[in-house]
Structure 1
Amino acid sequence: MSGLVNALVIVAVAALVIVRQFRASRIDTDRRWWLLPGILAVIALREPDLLDARHHAQSALVLGAELLVALAMGAAWAWTTRLWVEPDGGVWSQGTKASVGVWGAGIGLRVGLLGVGALLGLHQDSAALMLGLAATLLVRSGVLIWRAQSLNRTLVHATAYGDHVPRSSWKERV
């Protein structure tokens, strides 16, 4: 794919993920949470310009730093996401103000890495950003699934008054 198409895919996925993180959403631990990050990683790794042909060592170093930032951002994003359990046992998540701070810091660090690469004279392609986004989404999803499963295991299901009364299935949104 061309750099422009990669950039559009990155912007579209990031916008979708950012918008969805601030809406309450149910976490489904059975779905294929690794699929979107996997597709993004495959697309990024197929690009021939992932590393600069003239500066392999410096390019690999900047890419490694990008991936470390992406992994840290994904973990921090997952840990700043609020989780709760509904009475039906479903686990829900919603981003917090701290999640916005994580995104801001991650974007700032990535812009800084792009600046370092430019100072070193590296040719940088959008494939590195796409690979970083894939790593961020993979770590975030994995940590959220792990947290959701641990919440489900710690629930103690004791019967209480009204437990067997049917509840409406809609969720009020503000």
Structure 2
Amino acid sequence: METVQISLLVLLAVVFVIYRQTRTRPAAGTGSLYTAGAMIVLGLVSGGLLDSGGSGELIDTGHLALSVTLFAVEAVAAVALGVWRSRTVRMWVDDSGVAWSKATGWTLLAWLASMATRVALYFAGVAAGLTVSTGSVLVFLGLTIGTQAYLVARRGRALTGNRIFS
């Protein structure tokens, strides 16, 4: 996929996910996990995992240790930011026993921090001389959205006494 196409896909995905989170919706659903998984897979296969010729794959073999370290930092940051955002989502159970969720202002602030963190990591990679991949943006988003979705669904299931993925 071309950089422009991936950038548009990322932008649309983020806008869609944030929009959905600002709407009141059942908390126990796992549909966002499928979207997150698709983003991770697309990010991994959108150019390959290893870069030996400067074409921008996830791991730059010319700077292997630094590239793997940055990728690991991105993954940890994505998960941590997903955990943080999941804690900012308002959750409640209605009279019929259904768990509901809705993003708060804190969730939107956490999304801004997530985007700022991703941009900072991108420019850190560029400054370090790494060949930066647009696919890594998809992996980052997939991990962070998936983490948040899983934890919100888990909280929703805990509120109603159901087990996740049952």
TM over 0.5, yes or no?
A: yes
**Quick check: 1:11 aligned with 2:19?**
no
Kept in 1, the 8 Å contact 2:28–2:157? The answer is no
**Quick check: 1:77 aligned with 2:85?**
yes
**Quick check: 1:129 aligned with 2:142?**
no
Please list, as runs of the form range in 1=range in 2, the aligned pairs for 1:1-174 lying within 5 A after superposition.
1-29=1-29, 31-46=30-45, 47-48=47-48, 49-153=57-161
Q: Report deviation, 1:147.
A: 0.3
Larger Rg computed on CA atoms: 1
Q: Report deviation, 1:63.
A: 1.2
Unpaired runs of at least 5, structure 1 = 155-174
Supply the RMSD in Å over aligned alpha carbons.
1.6
Q: Report deviation, 1:130.
A: 0.4
Q: Report deviation, 1:33.
A: 4.3
Aligned length: 153
Kept in 1, the 8 Å contact 2:99–2:156? The answer is yes
- Secondary structure of the residue aligned to 1:55 is helix
Per-residue deviation, residues 32-80 of structure 1 (Å, max 9, x unmatched): 4421111111111112211123212111111111111110111111110
Unpaired runs of at least 5, structure 2 = 49-56
Percent identical: 25
Partner Cα separation in structure 2 for residue 111 and residue 148 of structure 1: 31
Change (3 A) 1:118 1:33: closer
- Secondary structure of the residue aligned to 2:26 is strand
